């Protein structure tokens, strides 16, 4: 069930951009949360991220790191998805996202563990009659057939997307920041061509070169979805996440990557997942996620002529 609490109705939320009275079809972007973390294989806590992010966007402004402003960018907070079963939850998210994509509405999802990207990608697939691209920024590939017996685990996100009609080839995917791999993922990786740039490669080749290679591969898709697992960042910059991996992307690498991708590609939606506030009292991962959302919205606002520069 999709419900709005008081924070979701608060116009101060999301940097003062929240327009609770506006129809979703009229919004420049719709944001919603999926406070679910039962798909994790290690540490939980990501279910608290949507609420924590909402509360901590009331004290932030709709501005970018380049000191541009986008106060006229209209966001509708649709609230959070909850359900008694994962099956029901995933189906409701799938239908909701399908509706947004059919209406041409850009959207942002806040997880939750990475399994909640599964119904989002299913919804995109249902709405389209064409192939779409998926950019997966993460420490992990999430390409396991199953993890601990769970085929809907946060470690199976993109394997499930491979089963979809419009993202059924490994060429539909581009992985960035990877630095950990499961045994069955390794088998798949060895037997198939996969567009993957490890964190090691991002450092040694340079993040701009990696972004350019990603854009070159994704340009053939008219529509692209971007999923950002906060553990793509080095844990020194985002400690509050369930499965951190040392040696990750720096904040500057991440922001440069987003700049190039959002400028050059038609990203119709994105998510930020795996932020686990209970695992980090200083909330570094939460603040990183907030910045990612603000910068991405800045690029969307720019595409609509709603970014004010000096």
Q: What is the pLDDT of residue 47?
A: 95
Mean pLDDT of 283-294: 98
**H/E element holding 3?**
strand 2-3
pLDDT at residue 304 is higher than 90: yes
Q: What is the pLDDT of residue 74?
A: 98
| 11 phi and psi angles, rounded to 5 deg | -70, -15
Q: What is the pLDDT of residue 310?
A: 92
Q: Are 282 and 236 contacting, i.e. CB atoms less than 8 angstroms apart?
A: no
CA atoms within 13 A on the CB side of 195: 22
User: Residues of the chain with pLDDT > 70: what percent?
Assistant: 100
Q: What pLDDT, in 10s, does the model give residues 103-116?
A: 999 999 999 999 99
Q: Are 203 and 225 contacting, i.e. CB atoms less than 8 angstroms apart?
A: no
d(CA 167, CA 136): 13
d(CA 267, CA 133): 9
Q: Which two tokens stand for residue 289?
A: 């996620």
Q: What pLDDT, in 10s, does the model give residues 37-48?
A: 987 777 889 999
Mean pLDDT of 88-103: 98
Q: What is the pLDDT of residue 33?
A: 98
Q: Which two tokens stand for residue 153?
A: 């685990």
pLDDT band at 249 (very low <50, low <70, confident <90, very high): very high
pLDDT at residue 233 is higher than 90: yes
Number of DSSP helices (H) and strands (E) in the chain, helices first = 11, 9
d(CA 102, CA 117): 18
Q: What pLDDT, in 10s, does the model give residues 128-183?
A: 999 999 999 999 999 999 988 999 999 999 999 999 999 999 999 999 999 999 99
DSSP string, 232-259: GB-TTT---SSS--SS-B-HHHHHHHHH
pLDDT band at 10 (very low <50, low <70, confident <90, very high): very high
Q: What pLDDT, in 10s, does the model give residues 50-85?
A: 999 999 999 999 999 999 999 999 999 999 999 999
d(CA 144, CA 157): 8
What DSSP state is assigned to residue 168? Answer: -
Distance from chain centroid for Cα 289: 9
Mean pLDDT of 236-264: 97
User: Residues of the chain with pLDDT > 90: what percent?
Assistant: 95
pLDDT at residue 223 is higher than 80: yes
Q: What is the pLDDT of residue 55?
A: 95
pLDDT band at 7 (very low <50, low <70, confident <90, very high): confident
């Amino acid at each position: 069930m999709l419900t709005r609490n008081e924070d979701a109705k608060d116009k101060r939320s999301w940097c003062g951009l929240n327009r609770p009275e506006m129809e979703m079809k009229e919004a420049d972007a719709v944001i919603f949360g999926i406070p679910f973390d039962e798909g994790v294989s290690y540490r939980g806590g990501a279910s608290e991220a949507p609420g924590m992010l909402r509360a901590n966007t009331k004290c932030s402004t709709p501005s970018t790191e380049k000191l541009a402003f986008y106060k006229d960018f209209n966001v509708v907070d649709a609230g959070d998805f909850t359900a008694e079963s994962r099956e029901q939850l995933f189906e409701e998210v799938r239908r909701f996202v399908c509706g947004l994509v059919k209406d041409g509405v850009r959207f942002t999802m806040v997880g939750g563990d990475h399994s909640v990207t599964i119904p989002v990608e299913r919804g995109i697939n249902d709405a389209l009659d064409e192939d779409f691209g998926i950019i997966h920024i993460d420490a992990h590939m999430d390409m396991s057939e199953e993890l601990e017996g769970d085929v809907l685990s946060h470690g199976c996100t993109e394997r499930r997307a491979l089963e979809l009609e419009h993202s059924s080839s490994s060429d539909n995917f581009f992985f960035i920041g990877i630095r950990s791999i499961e045994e069955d993922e390794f088998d798949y990786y060895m037997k198939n061509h996969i567009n993957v740039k490890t964190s090691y490669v991002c450092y040694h080749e340079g993040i701009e070169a990696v972004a350019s290679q990603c854009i070159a591969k994704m340009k053939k898709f008219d529509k692209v979805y971007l999923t950002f697992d906060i553990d793509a960042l080095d844990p020194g910059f985002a400690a509050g996440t369930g499965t951190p991996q040392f040696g990750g992307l720096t904040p500057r690498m991440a922001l440069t990557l987003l700049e190039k991708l959002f400028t050059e590609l038609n990203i119709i939606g994105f998510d930020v997942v795996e932020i686990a506030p209970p695992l980090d009292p200083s909330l570094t991962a939460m603040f990183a996620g907030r910045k990612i959302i603000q910068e991405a919205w800045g690029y969307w606002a720019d595409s609509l002529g709603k970014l004010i520069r000096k």
